[in-house]
């Protein structure tokens, strides 16, 4: 990387900005939403502190001075961080350094590292949990030691754009880790579409046959290929299981309870209690039966050609059509089991159980969004369908495997 060579692009994506031809900066924090949530906490903390100091009259609250002070400090800390918390990230190509800082209005603490410590810009995937949303972290991969986090947007398109810009600005390859298979692209080619990479031989297409017992139908035509995926994968089995247990309770446990409560009396209270008992288990039965029927009717039709993809998702009550031109498709990959069994101690058992676990499905990455289809299909079938879609997008006449 030449320190004196300015970047090719002068319009970085938000929240990045160029302060000079060789300096890229980003500042996070502040804004309307943070103020909206931070002001009530901060005002409450100030009010509690002033009442503790005797400046304002006390309206009750904790009698213990320690508890009162702890509550005031907690509100002040949360409100202060939301209102005044800031995070800075700066890249200086002239000095070949990257700086990350945090503080309240002004930087208070940070770290500075040499750009020579990093080998790639990484775009990753964080599925989140019940308390945190899905994010797409962008970070700098270190040659040794810890990676350097940069930003973690909740939107894939934004994260992709930011990672591509950083790759070009820093002259570092970009590593895509949003699916199970890592893709590394040179900074000069990060904006290439999947079709462009396929035509120049930059992407390998697996030569695999259609697995036995496939739930998909693949129809080849002169202009492309059509894939029909029927059913709903593992969700159908889950709905069926949810139907069996409540039905057993209603058919077998219900009469037993009925015979035991009727001798006690025929009052309205007993009848109401038993009706509530039946309703408690009837609701899951109706829900599971409806869900099973909906999954039975579900079908996904994918039409692939050199022009792009057309995805038609037919659900119980509605149909959704999505068209993706080849100029917007970045990659087509598949993700295996949701749980990484290869990292367990019993690898032999792990491989045997992989087919029983739910899968994320085929992941289609575009510049607008990331689309997942075929979740719950076996990994072998996902690999086959990915090869079919890639060949259709490249315009290859020969498809892998046999067609049904």
Spatial CA neighbour of 224 closest among 394, 401, 403, 383: 394
Distances in Å between the Cα of 252 and the Cα atoms of 245, 257, 285, 287 are 11, 9, 14, 20
User: For residues 236 and 337, what is the distance between their CA atoms, to the nearest angstrom?
Assistant: 17
Q: Quote the DSSP letter at residue 190.
A: T
| pLDDT at position 339 | 42
| pLDDT at position 263 | 54
Where in the chain are the domains? Answer: 16-191, 216-232+298-394, 236-281
| pLDDT at position 181 | 86
The pLDDT tens digits for 30-48 are 666 666 777 887 788 887 7
User: For residues 124 and 159, what is the distance between their CA atoms, to the nearest angstrom?
Assistant: 9
User: For residues 95 and 169, what is the distance between their CA atoms, to the nearest angstrom?
Assistant: 14
The pLDDT tens digits for 154-182 are 999 999 999 999 999 999 999 999 988 89
> What's the distance, CA 111 to chain centroid?
29
In which residue ranges of the chain is pLDDT below 70? 1-10, 30-35, 54-64, 231-297, 316, 336-359, 397-404
Distances in Å between the Cα of 324 and the Cα atoms of 11, 94, 160, 327 are 26, 40, 17, 8
Which strand ranges, in their side-by-side order, compose the sheet holding 224-230? Answer: 216-221, 224-230, 299-305, 308-314, 319-325
This prediction's pTM: 0.70
| pLDDT at position 2 | 45
| Tokens found for residue 40 | 């009530």
Helix/strand/coil for 200: coil
| pLDDT at position 115 | 94
CATH number of 216-232+298-394: 2.30.29
């Amino acid at each position: 990387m030449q320190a004196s060579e300015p970047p090719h692009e002068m319009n970085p994506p938000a929240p990045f900005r160029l302060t000079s031809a060789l300096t890229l900066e980003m500042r996070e924090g502040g804004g309307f939403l943070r103020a909206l949530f931070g002001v009530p906490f901060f005002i409450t903390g100030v009010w509690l502190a002033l009442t503790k100091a005797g400046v304002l009259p006390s309206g009750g609250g904790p009698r213990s001075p320690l508890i009162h002070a702890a509550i005031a400090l907690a509100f002040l800390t949360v409100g202060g961080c939301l209102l005044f918390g800031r995070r800075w990230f700066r890249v200086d190509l002239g000095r070949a350094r990257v700086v990350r800082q945090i503080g309240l209005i002004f930087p208070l603490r940070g770290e500075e590292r040499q750009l020579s410590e990093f080998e790639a810009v990484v775009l990753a995937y964080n599925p989140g949990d019940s308390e945190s949303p899905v994010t797409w972290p962008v970070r700098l991969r270190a040659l040794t030691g810890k990676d350097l986090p940069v930003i973690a947007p909740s939107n894939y398109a934004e994260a992709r754009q930011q990672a591509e810009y950083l790759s070009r600005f820093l002259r570092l390859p970009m590593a895509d880790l949003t699916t199970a298979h890592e893709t590394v692209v040179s900074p000069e080619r990060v904006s290439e579409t999947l079709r462009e990479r396929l035509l120049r031989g930059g992407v390998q297409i697996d030569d695999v046959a259609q697995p036995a017992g496939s739930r998909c139908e693949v129809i080849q035509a002169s202009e492309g290929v059509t894939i029909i995926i029927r059913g709903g994968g593992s969700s159908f089995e889950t709905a069926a299981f949810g139907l069996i247990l409540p039905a057993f309770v209603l058919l077998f446990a219900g009469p037993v309870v009925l015979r035991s409560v009727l001798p006690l009396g025929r009052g309205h209270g007993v009848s109401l209690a038993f009706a509530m008992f039946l309703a408690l288990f009837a609701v899951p039965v109706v829900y599971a039966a409806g869900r099973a029927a909906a999954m039975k009717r579900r079908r996904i039709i994918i039409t692939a050609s050199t022009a792009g993809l057309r995805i038609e998702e037919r659900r119980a009550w509605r149909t959704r059509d999505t068209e993706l031109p080849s100029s917007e498709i970045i990659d087509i990959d598949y993700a295996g089991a949701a749980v990484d069994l290869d990292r367990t101690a019993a690898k032999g058992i792990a491989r045997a159980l992989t087919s029983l676990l739910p899968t994320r499905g085929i992941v289609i990455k575009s510049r607008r969004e990331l689309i997942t289809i075929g979740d719950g299909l076996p990994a072998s079938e996902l690999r086959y369908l990915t090869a079919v879609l890639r060949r259709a997008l490249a315009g290859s006449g020969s498809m892998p495997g046999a067609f049904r």
